[in-house]
Structure 1
């Protein structure tokens, strides 16, 4: 068997995953904090003010990475759910359900920072703009996944039901992505292209990339921490959990 495939099979074991998560969660958080510090410092004190929006544009360094993460996490949750439904891998169920609260948090940050940004730009905290409306629907989908998972007592049945909702809901992501293209929108069009030419000045892009990396590492740390906690709850009563509790006592 391929060593990488064998490693993934071993990682599916609850005790192995617990050791993996315990080892790497602090490192993910540590890298995220360092990157956040560097990114925010550059965004606030190094990057020049925008010639049109002034200093108010700086909120994009939180808004844009959060918006990207809100969609990325939902897509990943749907992927984990599909794997869990097809191959009945319990760890993927756990990871999928651990994604939901984190993705919901990124979506809330996206909506909040968008409103703060919109007030000086549009003169209103909220407008039923296609991008804002579809992002709000994404939040409702996240809350639906969380609520469905919590409503069913059997963890595996709950994860399958909530996972199916996430798979269906993934159809919303391209609508969010292209809403500013398909409909008239107050929301500005795409100014940042990671794989092509951006209309944003190059001096402003580096802090944004740092913030994007920071949110990725924060997500990984949060995912591992939440998945580890759920894994331990599901495995409560097993010998390896009892030994772990004894070692930490």
Structure 2
């Protein structure tokens, strides 16, 4: 098992192998994420019962919670990719980190925006300097900082290093986000899903949420793969295997006419 993982790790470091392998996944990820989101949204909006305290306003949870989870997961993926680049100098890891950054920032922004919409009828205000909200806002700024470093430094190698270092430093914010509701007295409700406890939600509310979380992960994986493939096409554009790809060869041929 360990040897298989090592071989897979080295193969994923090959742009050509990654591009060819992930090309087979795109249609399935798109199909599964699309169907999953459709099912989750329909179940959450039409069939889940209203909350006994929040009424129908709680239904934004089916967008807010998956977005918040992906925002945190995306940052961890970006940081791990940055560490792999710093330690083993794997260029694919740097390209993955570059692909993840704007996606993670987008999901973080969605989480903050939907949280504000949810907070207005629940707390009576769009925003409070709550520990959970503030730490999520810091996460958004960390994403922006990593993206700025990746683009501001002229040397590509130096920009990858700077982005990787900042992403690793910012990892300290992830446990703060997760445990802020336990460490401090906050307005934000405690975590709904815990591995060590049975979820307090009714199954009719919980099942659509789980479906939406899985579907959002699949969508995120799809978007990361597409952006990473674009990074590969750009950085490897002069390689013969890139120019021999049917989609690239057709563009080259069309441009020569």
Q: How does 1:192-207 map to 2 (within 5 A)?
A: 192-207=193-208
- The TM-score, its normalising length taken from structure 1, stands at 0.95
Question: In the TM superposition, what whole-angstrom CA distance separates every residue of 1:183-242 from its partner, at most 9, and x where no partner exists?
Answer: 221111223324421222222111111001011100110010011101111112121222
Q: How does 1:88-237 map to 2 (within 5 A)?
A: 88-237=89-238
Q: State which drifts further: 174-183 or 150-159.
A: 150-159
- Give me the whole-angstrom Cα distance separating, in 2, the residues matched to 1:4 and 1:192: 30
Shift of 1:13: 1.6
SS in 2 for 1:200: coil
Alpha carbon RMSD of aligned pairs, Å? Answer: 1.6
Shift of 1:9: 1.9
- Structure 1 residue ranges without an equivalent (≥5): none
SS in 1 for 2:162: helix
SS in 2 for 1:170: helix
Residue of structure 1 equivalent to 2:85: 84
Task: Please say if residues 25 and 222 of structure 1, whose CA atoms lie closer than 8 Å, have aligned partners that are also in contact.
Answer: no
Shift of 1:134: 0.7
Shift of 1:5: 2.7
1:61 has 2:62 as partner? yes
Shift of 1:154: 2.6
Q: State which drifts further: 131-140 or 178-187.
A: 178-187
Paired residues, number: 249
- Give me the whole-angstrom Cα distance separating, in 2, the residues matched to 1:146 and 1:14: 22
- Give me the whole-angstrom Cα distance separating, in 2, the residues matched to 1:201 and 1:7: 40
Q: 1:2–1:178: structure 2 CA closer, same or farther, 3 Å change rule?
A: closer
Task: Please say if residues 25 and 220 of structure 1, whose CA atoms lie closer than 8 Å, have aligned partners that are also in contact.
Answer: no
Q: State which drifts further: 53-62 or 196-205.
A: 196-205
- Give me the whole-angstrom Cα distance separating, in 2, the residues matched to 1:137 and 1:86: 26
Question: In the TM superposition, what whole-angstrom CA distance separates every residue of 1:76-102 from its partner, at most 9, and x where no partner exists?
Answer: 111111111111111111111211111
SS in 1 for 2:25: helix
- Structure 2 residue ranges without an equivalent (≥5): none
- Give me the whole-angstrom Cα distance separating, in 1, the residues matched to 2:156 and 2:229: 15
- Give me the whole-angstrom Cα distance separating, in 2, the residues matched to 1:239 and 1:247: 14
SS in 1 for 2:58: helix
- Give me the whole-angstrom Cα distance separating, in 2, the residues matched to 1:203 and 1:195: 21
Task: Please say if residues 26 and 221 of structure 1, whose CA atoms lie closer than 8 Å, have aligned partners that are also in contact.
Answer: no
Residue of structure 2 equivalent to 1:9: 10
Shift of 1:70: 0.9
Shift of 1:11: 2.9
Shift of 1:10: 2.5
